[in-house]
Structure 1
Amino acid sequence: MWSNTNQFIIFVDLIMQKLFTYFLILISISFIFSACSSYEAVLKSKDINLKLAKANEYYEKKDYQKANELYAMVTPVLRGTKSFEAVYLKYAYSYFNLKDYLSASLHFKNYVDVFPTSKESENAEYMHALCLYKLAPKASLEQTNTIKALDALQSFVNTHPNSLHTEEANKLIENSIKKLEQKEADAAQLYFKIGQYKAASVSFKSVLRNYPESEKSDYYQYFIIKSLYLYAHSSIETKQKERYSNVVSAFEELQNEHPNSTFIKDAEKYKNLSINFLKTIDNELK
């Protein structure tokens, strides 16, 4: 059957490799079924100590889903005992590690309320705020959660100015403020795009008022000038003098507050056009 001994050896070697592969697969399947069977047995067990021990074991192995399910079973029973505090905190962290930030935020907040003097209370308070921050959507969406996160982060910084988390919390506060600013600025820009120039100027002024330290303040002032000019230009003659004058005043504000702004040159065009229209109006009144 075999032309030489080497072919037979190669054939046997291939068979052994396949058998070894099948063996490993069977061992893996057996291990998985065994692990599942073991976990199911723990879930069905009435032994609280066993469930707690396994929950902690799964938690240390970063199997947060199984740990979370077991913590959910033992925490109601352990309430009022010495071990409840540590277990409940791990329960909250298991939600966080599962990226269920809504549940995590609620449990971290509850931990702070129940254990206000705990050495872990400060960390839990920060984690509550961090969860709210992670729940906040992008700037184009409704920003209720961003406002909640900002309030929680600001409260944390005010209460714990020397915390190890304060620096990071301040960065998250800055990011949240920028997101809220972007939301308002986008709304103002939309008014401008659809030709609602009065609403655009009012909205950009609102952004400036709400975020006076914004890095984009000269940008907003430029669009106020542009919006005011286009609003004046489309107004009835009896309203134009006042509205062109507003353009000139807005330009002077930009020039005084941001003399080196890159928007000065373009903004000056609208100022000069407004001045020319004002001269024309004055000449017509003579």
Structure 2
Amino acid sequence: MNTGIRIFVVLSLFFILPACSKKSLTKVLKSNDIEYKLRMAEKYYADKKYSRAQQIYEDLFPVLRNDPRFEDLYYKYAYCAYYQKDYMNAENLFKGFLDAFSKSQRAAEADYMHAYCFFKQSPKVELDQTNTEKTIGFMQAHINNYPESTKAEEARKIIGECYEKLEVKEFKGAELYYNIGAYRAAAISFTNLLNHYPDSKRTDEYKLMIIRSYYQYANMSVETKQKERFEKVVEEYYDFVDRFPESKLLKDAEKYFNLSKNSLKVINNEQTDKKS
């Protein structure tokens, strides 16, 4: 077979096969044979042709609603959406399955998948993290409601990943304040970050940023406000030493402490000179 003929055959198959498949699906959908439809839906599902299986399941919904097989149909229908990465629809379907079949042996799985669909919709750190927060809530609810679930450990891991993402987002916000010179806002944001994630591996880094932010804020302040603001730096430094006596960042914190003490000494001397 020469090259030209081979290309023609390949192109012909490329167009003919989808047309045949579409025709086959149309035939199934037009059929009045429920058992045949269900059998074909199962075949498409097993072959991972989820879009086709989904269409047949939809067609069978009103017919099999009161049939014992409806639970399995609904279960696979939800997965059809999930496997096609239609996570928003899948999330609703798994929730619907749980509402309809709360006593099912698959209830725990559906509950986990409902939460997992939110996790799959969790966006990049820079974007709105509503779905990340919902993931934490629903995963924790899964652990609470199904303590023996085979997915409980995985749910805890995902919760940890979500908290890490939220921590990074909050850090970037605080860092942005610092970078644009909004030092008081930066100090408050890093303080909130430290309070929100007290078990973070970066707590001493956040505390150092609080000290740096307050120092920059004091340094840029009007003279009448500098004393109390340099004193705030000193106060934060002592808190750093109490909390993180072994921190590798201790010397960095000490630098701002010494700068603030020197500034306070100058301010106090100037105030003394004025009085005399």
The match for 2:161 among 175, 193, 216 is 175
1:78 maps to 64
Instruction: Please say if 1:157 is aligned against 2:138.
Output: no
Instruction: Please say if 1:222 is aligned against 2:215.
Output: no
Report how many aligned residue pairs link the two structures.
272
Bigger Cα displacement from structure 2, 45-54 vs 229-238: 45-54
- The superposition leaves residues 5-25 of structure 1 with CA deviations (integer Å, 9 ceiling, x where unpaired) of xxxxxxxxx57x987887787
3-state SS, counterpart of residue 181 of structure 1 = helix
Q: 1:103 and 1:27, CA in 2 relative to 1: closer, same or farther beyond 3 A?
A: closer
Distance in 2, matches of 1:103 and 1:193, equals 41
Q: Please say which structure displays the higher CA radius of gyration.
A: 1
State the AA in 1 paired with 2:130: T
Instruction: Please say if 1:263 is aligned against 2:269.
Output: no
State the AA in 1 paired with 2:42: N
CA shift, 1:76, in A, is 2.8
CA shift, 1:30, in A, is 5.7
3-state SS, counterpart of residue 181 of structure 2 = coil
Equivalent residues in 2 for 1:191-210, closer than 5 Å: 191-210=177-196
- The superposition leaves residues 84-118 of structure 1 with CA deviations (integer Å, 9 ceiling, x where unpaired) of 11110000011111111111110001111111111
CA shift, 1:156, in A, is 0.8
CA shift, 1:186, in A, is 1.0
State the AA in 2 paired with 1:248: V
1:6 maps to none
Unpaired stretches in structure 1, ≥5 consecutive residues: 1-13
User: Aligned-residue CA RMSD in angstroms?
Assistant: 2.1
Q: 1:24 and 1:149, CA in 2 relative to 1: closer, same or farther beyond 3 A?
A: closer
Task: Give the ranges of 4+ consecutive aligned residues of structure 1 lying more than 6 Å apart after TM superposition.
Answer: 17-29
Distance in 2, matches of 1:54 and 1:189, equals 56
Aligned-residue sequence identity (percent) comes to 42
Equivalent residues in 2 for 1:54-203, closer than 5 Å: 54-203=40-189
CA shift, 1:26, in A, is 6.3
Distance in 1, matches of 2:205 and 2:76, equals 47
Distance in 1, matches of 2:137 and 2:204, equals 28
The normalised TM-score by structure 2 is 0.91
Distance in 2, matches of 1:150 and 1:202, equals 25
Q: 1:22 and 1:193, CA in 2 relative to 1: closer, same or farther beyond 3 A?
A: closer
CA shift, 1:36, in A, is 2.8
- The superposition leaves residues 45-77 of structure 1 with CA deviations (integer Å, 9 ceiling, x where unpaired) of 233332221111100111111111111221232
The normalised TM-score by structure 1 is 0.88
Instruction: Please say if 1:39 is aligned against 2:25.
Output: yes
